[in-house]
Structure 1
């Protein structure tokens, strides 16, 4: 591991987990626990459960000429999640952070992939807190490493809630704009099918070349303008058909899919976006499918957040994704 890239993993060193963000009120009534009272640092003997792991990284956003600050996202999400009400039955663990210093992106992605694969091997469901959307290549690689030891040709469905395809050519520079092109290349090298759904795409924010690349790769595309109350049930059905052709799901949520008023604290706030109310039925369908193995939340930039609105949305997404079904 590059000396500029470090991981604070409780699997190796329980004392390295910073639990200070997990603070909040304590209510006197019975059965009134909140996240900060229930989450525990991950240990080697921990029972399988939800495992939060941070990816404190700005390198991909910097390479993509975006607004720096996403490295502070994991801590901000933890602080916003800490006081939320606890409605789980299973355990939740904090697995620490993979921290990228400077431009050591590839080393950080390699380390996160190793951590994700280890968590999956130990029966946990990882939920990665970004960080820029370069986290997606690392998250997927960790899932691939886990599954390749179990199946010859795993049918992995990637569902990206995002205003952007992030399918730029990685041969020039690897960044927060290239992870799904990198994943497509990795699938090709492995002889796996590339199954990718990108929901919430902004036509104004993606070039014709990117739409053409998405078409050539067989991507399921739903634009932000399609997300209306009248289309809600149809969108859930479309997603259900995609899910039915997969055995494993990886969900990645770029917070810039939301309207700028709901998520101002991102690298590229959306002029239109898709509201949280419209996204929640899709997220619930993914969660309840029984196929979700891994999720991540990307692009929270606390430097540009207003009244912690974006962090609160991210925390609500964690809450929604981890509700026991």
Structure 2
């Protein structure tokens, strides 16, 4: 991993309907992310937050079951440009969310720099919905599908190109709340998924060994998209869509430690921290602790 990290905050809450996740970047900074990574001898450049345009009061519906479509798309374009600039400057982009719709912009800015970008989607959800399959119309449930080129053009063509990633270069870890349309798509295009069943059965060490081996042989860079609701709500209560029976705090540390040892992660984002729903900033602190492990912090 590069020793120069640029932090980009994305105070986005328009991809879903529960307010508060826009304060996620501030909560993560308050939990000491800069200080933690500087102690690991990284050069940290905090670029501040992407400006998010607020829709007029009550204007939540975009079109075709896509809430806040225009505003999410505009924010994604801004983030894509910023991430692109960070990579051109030879630095590691670390993006702080914000809801998971921000992955639209992250992947758009990152993927143009790789022939075969790999993605680890660490999440309770698949985020593989479209306007046609989504039960809610919330765009934070669509970024992985859109990055595959599936969905509305305003989402699939962020930064002017599509697709950003290939289905065979994706590994979803921690899934336990998949909609019917997502299940069908996973089977149709062949995305590799480790549900909680596989994690329980195989153990996190085996899941990560297999994930790392799988991505190493087919990708030239790997983006980690970590949704805090991938963890069990007991360990990460401050998320908008908690799902019981998730990955434990210690399992998540092991996953991050193994990724650091493998040296395959070239960009990362941590999303869905909602301090309004949290307990004394616990979830933001968990996010920062996991970043510590991802960037080389050791127990001994």
Q: TM-score by structure 2 length?
A: 0.82
Aligned to 1:167: 128
1:215 Cα shift?
Answer: 1.6
Aligned to 1:272: 245
User: Does structure 2 conserve the Cα–Cα contact (< 8 Å) formed by 1:58 and 1:69?
Assistant: yes
- Of 9, 16, 20, 1:54 maps to 9
- Of 244, 248, 255, 1:282 maps to 255
Measure the CA separation in 2 of the matches of 1:101 and 1:199. Answer: 32
- Of 148, 171, 183, 1:197 maps to 171
Deviations 1:172-220 (A, max 9, x none): 8571000001011059945963321110000xx2223211111212111
- Of 110, 120, 135, 2:87 maps to 120
Measure the CA separation in 1 of the matches of 2:164 and 2:22. Answer: 34
- Of 232, 236, 240, 2:204 maps to 232
- Of 87, 91, 96, 1:129 maps to 96
1:277 Cα shift?
Answer: 1.0
Cα distance change, pair 192–69 in 1 and its aligned pair in 2 (3 A):
closer
User: Does structure 1 conserve the Cα–Cα contact (< 8 Å) formed by 2:232 and 2:244?
Assistant: yes
1:84 Cα shift?
Answer: 4.3
Residue ranges of structure 2 left out of the alignment (5+ in a row): 56-70, 150-155
Measure the CA separation in 1 of the matches of 2:138 and 2:200. Answer: 34
1:129 Cα shift?
Answer: 0.3
User: Does structure 2 conserve the Cα–Cα contact (< 8 Å) formed by 1:120 and 1:143?
Assistant: yes
Pairing 1:140–2:107 present: yes
User: Does structure 1 conserve the Cα–Cα contact (< 8 Å) formed by 2:16 and 2:138?
Assistant: no
Cα distance change, pair 315–107 in 1 and its aligned pair in 2 (3 A):
same
1:81 Cα shift?
Answer: 1.6
Aligned to 2:118: 157
Aligned residues: 267
The alignment yields a C-alpha RMSD, in angstroms, of 2.5
User: Does structure 2 conserve the Cα–Cα contact (< 8 Å) formed by 1:170 and 1:182?
Assistant: no
Q: Within 5 A, what are the aligned runs for 1:306-321?
A: 306-321=279-294
Cα distance change, pair 218–230 in 1 and its aligned pair in 2 (3 A):
closer
